[in-house]
Amino acid sequence: MSDWEHIPSWVRDYSLRLAGAVLILLLGWLANRLLIGTLRNVLARSRLDLSLASFLVNSVRTAILLVVLIAVLQQFGFETTSLLTLLGTAGLAVALSLQGSLANFASGLMLLAFRTVRIGDFIEVGDVRGRVSEMLPFHIVIETIDNQRITVPNTLLTSGPVRNNTYLPARRVQWTLPVGANNELSSIKAALVGRLQADGRILKDPPPQIYVQDWGTDKRTLAITAWSATADYLAVQQEFLEELGKSVEAAHRMSPGHNSIQ
């Protein structure tokens, strides 16, 4: 009779269970190392946002640990069905009480996945307008032009329209200027185009355009449009109205008859 048969049955049973648990832990460790490493490398080579990639990697790691833990408990004879039922019931109760927060969290993942907005973008959501400074699990932080800090729930960005002013590389700028009814429009248009083209922030393509927006008996209203890089848009919009107005006045002074602008 071998020495193994002299060992009490309960010792043999628990030795086998212990060996099985060690084997499960070893397999779980290998799965964690191989799967997590491979997943991290794949996500690193993809264009997925770093925050979302980190979330996915940590979620897979947590799932592996939970599976290993349940398998080890079953190996030692613990009844895990009741435990899973209890966890599921508790999870459902928490989910129902936090469904608003969970919706914001899910919306945050959608924002990261589809890159609807990114840090540094200048956006408009409802009546909030400013630059995105932080993207958090449940909300984003917007800093307005007048230096206010506003938090916006993520669900507002996935359930309604969002105007992203800095997503595209170029933007169209537009101004309106009144001129006298007796002014020579062709000379004024030429002066305005020349002033716009003289500034390096105005793009050559598409070229600036000028057209009459309103034709009155005492004045004409000119609409002037030009394109600039998105980074220069605000400065161009704010600075050029005065410059264009001066160009209109200069062209008017040089015109025959020298009639005042109405």
Report pLDDT digits (tens) over 101-132: 778 888 888 887 788 888 889 999 989 999 99
pTM listed for this prediction: 0.58
Identify any residues that bridge with 177 across adjacent strands, giving them in sequence order: 222
Rounded to an integer, what distance in angstroms lies between the CA atom of residue 100 and that of residue 155? 9
Question: Class assignment of domain 3-97?
Answer: mainly alpha
Handedness of CA 94, 96, 100, 104 (dihedral sign): positive
pLDDT tens for 182-192 read 888 888 999 99
Residue 72 parent element (H or E): helix 50-75
Rounded to an integer, what distance in angstroms lies between the CA atom of residue 61 and that of residue 59? 5
170-254 topology per CATH: Alpha-Beta Plaits (3.30.70)
- In this predicted model, which residue has the larger pLDDT, 238 or 2? 238
Rounded to an integer, what distance in angstroms lies between the CA atom of residue 37 and that of residue 57? 9
113-164 topology per CATH: SH3 type barrels. (2.30.30)
Delimit the domains of the chain by residue range: 3-97, 113-164, 170-254
Least confident of 7-16, 32-41, 89-98, 175-184: 89-98
Q: What is the per-residue pLDDT for 233?
A: 93
